[in-house]
Amino acid sequence: MHEVEELSAMEARAIGAAVGAEASEGELGDLYLRSAPRAIRLAYFLTGDRDLAEDIVQEAFVRVAGRRLRGPETFDAYLRRTVVNLFVSTLRRRRIERSRLRTLRDPGVQQPYDPSARDELFRALNTLPERQRAAIVLRFYEDLPEREAANVLGCSTGALNQLVVRGMAALRERMRGDER
Amino acid sequence: MIDLEPDLREMFRRREGDVRPVLASPPRIGSRVRWRRARRGLLAGLLASAVAVASVTGVRSLTGPRYVPGVSEEGTRTVELDVFEITYPADWFLTGVAIAPMEDPSWRIVLSNVDLGEPAPDPCSTSLPSHAVMLVFVIGTGPAEGPGWPVELAPAPEPCGATHLVAAWSRDRYASSYRAEVIAGSGASRSDVDAARRAFRTLRFPDESGAGILPYPEIDRDVSFAVLAGGRIDEEPWLLGADRSEANGFHVHVSTRDGGSGIGSMRTGSRTDVYLDPAVFGGNMYLWGAVQPGIARVEVRPEGADPFDPDMIRLPSFLGSDLRAFVAPMTGAPSGAIALYDGTGALVREVPFAPGAVLTPERDRDRPVAGAIADGRFFGTSWVLRPDGGEVLVLETADGDELARTGERGAELPPDALVLTTYAFEGDGPTQTIVFGHGGREVAFVVLVGDGGLPSTTEVIRPTDGRDPSFWGNAGARPEFAVAYDASCAFLRAIDLRTLEEAPEPEIAGSPCG
């Protein structure tokens, strides 16, 4: 899993150049190549959709790189937060996961739960409400400490823990349902 | 109990490989970033020029505002929604409802030549005027079936009106199934039926127009909505919408891709004869609001441009209000005034506006409370916000009962300080949370953010005697952050309004200082 890494001096200079007012196309492109893969993986686990994940990360990158930052070291944190915000605020409205939920409920595609076949878990994760899903991905994929994950979601650590507990309970319920 | 955490972690590890490797940066990513930076710079420049307006009249003539009406010369509106873009006669009504929004998300959206009295009624099971013409859309999110767009309207097999045409199509998007019907009563005019058919043929879809989408309508709320107006400035779409829900009552708002701004709690017969929001997004102003029925005409007088009459809009009756809305999209972010006239043509009042300075509902402009920096009325309680001894702000009822106050301050605040207090008015409707306090001398803007992520600007009062500025605003039902910026819109600090503790800079949709 990811650890929160300190930037090397070279990385800090590269980010500083790319977020500077005079950044070239190449510097911005390099920053995208450096930052996007991790952000796309995060967005993928949030959305369950590779294309959508790439769209969200491109938009988040434009937003974060287009603003004044307090320092290069904050870029990744801003990008992560913006990805999560775009996911929660935009997709909550669109409810695109509803059609997937309907597919999941279709008896024709249900399979018994097999702990070794964890695609069921991936699909079940994508049926959770957005903030519960984001809380689980931030805690168990990004491995963020409680406080940092709460900051990303803009809530207290107590609220974060509630989101995780409820999300995990819902996942268990869905996996049990699939077992039956 | 299934212990899912190890399985989750293993699943995450294994499925990381699902993501395609990033081998090249996307086309235009650099230009998109630079455009966004330029737009922020433009806004900061406009704000700075507003501060120094007396010395830059020459510059003002170059950046002067321009009214971009939402109604075309042909008398049509073009509005872009989440689900489609459509052009239709400007005096028709466009309303919608979310159908079973939580379980089976879909909308019914109805364009009609008459006010139907309810939002987007089901036309075949509702008694409608004989001269009514409707273009009805039912849009769902289920599996895509049927032909793609474009399709033609054809006579319905089982018509429920004198004219009844249908078409269905699908798209490979989240709003995936579309059905349209033109239904007209026996007394409907040929020209109105033709207008509905023309509107159908104007349909475009967000990815085809290349314009992205506005977040409207929403389907995660049990909401009825009306599209009041829409258009574009510099290819950027905007929309003026109104909605009504059990939870939130009646609400009008302007939306752009850079953010939105809304006003709730608007009431016919209140002491406020105009609700006004000079919202700025993307460097352009969307001056909008609503007036009481006694106001027959509104004139906008922007500084640096000729006066004009904005688009006036009658609200559909299901919203339960006989206010009239208006909207005046303008390039730039001017200050100015609006003039209100009654039915005899007499000037009732002239109300100044400045970028982002919302004229708060229930504020009594005729009879301001002596010494108050703000006053209003929520849920039957009249309130006053006033300085107490110069260094403390007190919120109290009109009877003098204290509700809240800022703490004693002592010495001058640090330049980037933000000290604040909140007070929530609760009653029959969404909670209204007043946030007020003081900032250090560098604090030029204080923005309130709720869980919708949209900022609302506070009123900042800067004393002329060099004392620290005060600010106040209404954070609504679900406040999250108060964020302070300096005059160049650089972030200073954020306070979490739920804990009143320091917080990291929150992500804000659009320009925070607009």
pLDDT in tens, B319-344: 888 889 999 999 988 888 888 888 88
Residue contact B7–A136, C-beta within 8 A: no
Chosen for mutation from B7, B14, B25 (greatest number of chain A CBs closer than 10 Å) is B25
All residues of chain B having their beta carbon less than 8 Å from the beta carbon of residue A1 are 9, 12-13
Cis peptide before B504 (omega within 30 of 0): no
Residues 75-104 of A with CB under 8 A from B: 78, 81-82, 85, 89-90, 92-96, 98-99, 102-103
Antiparallel, parallel or unpaired: β B479-485 and B491-496:
antiparallel
pLDDT of residue B505: 84
Statement: residue A49 has pLDDT above 70: yes
SS (H, E, C) B319-351: HCCCCEEEEEEEECCCCEEEEEECCCCCEEEEE
Assess: ipTM above 0.90: no
Residue of A81, A87, A93, A155 for testing the chain B interface, max B β-carbons within 10 Å:
A93
Of A50, A63, A172, the CB nearest to B2: A172
Q: Which of A53, A70, A172 is facing B4, going by the closest CB pair?
A: A172
Contacts of A32 in chain B (CB under 8 A): 22, 25-26, 29
Cβ-based neighbour number of residue A96 at 10 Å: 19
User: What is the rounded average pLDDT for all residues in chain B?
Assistant: 77
Question: Which of B257, B165, B177 has the alpha carbon at shortest distance from B209?
Answer: B257
Question: Does the structure show a pLDDT above 60 at A66?
Answer: yes
Structure-model confidence comparison of residues B376 and B304, the more confident one: B304
pLDDT (tens digit per residue) in A102-145? 333 333 333 333 333 447 888 889 888 888 899 999 999 999 88
Element of type H or E holding A54: helix A50-65
A164 touches chain B (CB under 8 A): no
B480 lies within 8 A of chain A by CB: yes
Can you give the pLDDT at residue B463?
67
Give per-residue pLDDT as tens, B52-66: 332 333 333 345 788
Angle at B221 between CA B495 and CA B357, to 5 degrees: 45
How does strand B259-264 pair with strand B223-233?
unpaired
DSSP states along A86-141: HIIIIIHHH-THHHHHHHHH-GGG-----TT-THHHHHHHTTS-HHHHHHHHHHHT
Question: Using the beta-carbon criterion (under 8 Å), do A175 and B30 form an inter-chain contact?
Answer: no
State the greatest distance between any 2 C-alpha atoms of chain A, in Å, as a whole number: 60
B418: CB partners within 8 A, 6+ apart: B437, B438, B439, B440, B443, B446, B482, B484, B492, B493, B495
Nearest to B291 by CA among B310, B279, B278, B275: B275
pLDDT for B203-219, tens place per residue?
Answer: 988 654 433 345 455 54
- What spatial distance separates the first Cα and last Cα of chain A, rounded to whole Å? 32
Question: In 10 A of CB B17, how many CB atoms?
Answer: 9
Residue type for position B42? L
pLDDT score, position B457: 62
Structure pTM? Answer: 0.50
Cβ–Cβ contact A50 with B under 8 A = yes
The closest CB to that of B22, out of A33, A68, A137, belongs to A33
The three-state DSSP-derived secondary structure of B361-426 is: CCCCCCCCCCCCCEEEEECCEEEEEEEECCCEEEEEECCCCEEEECCCCCCCCCCCCEEEEEEEEE
Tokens standing for residue B33: 């970033």
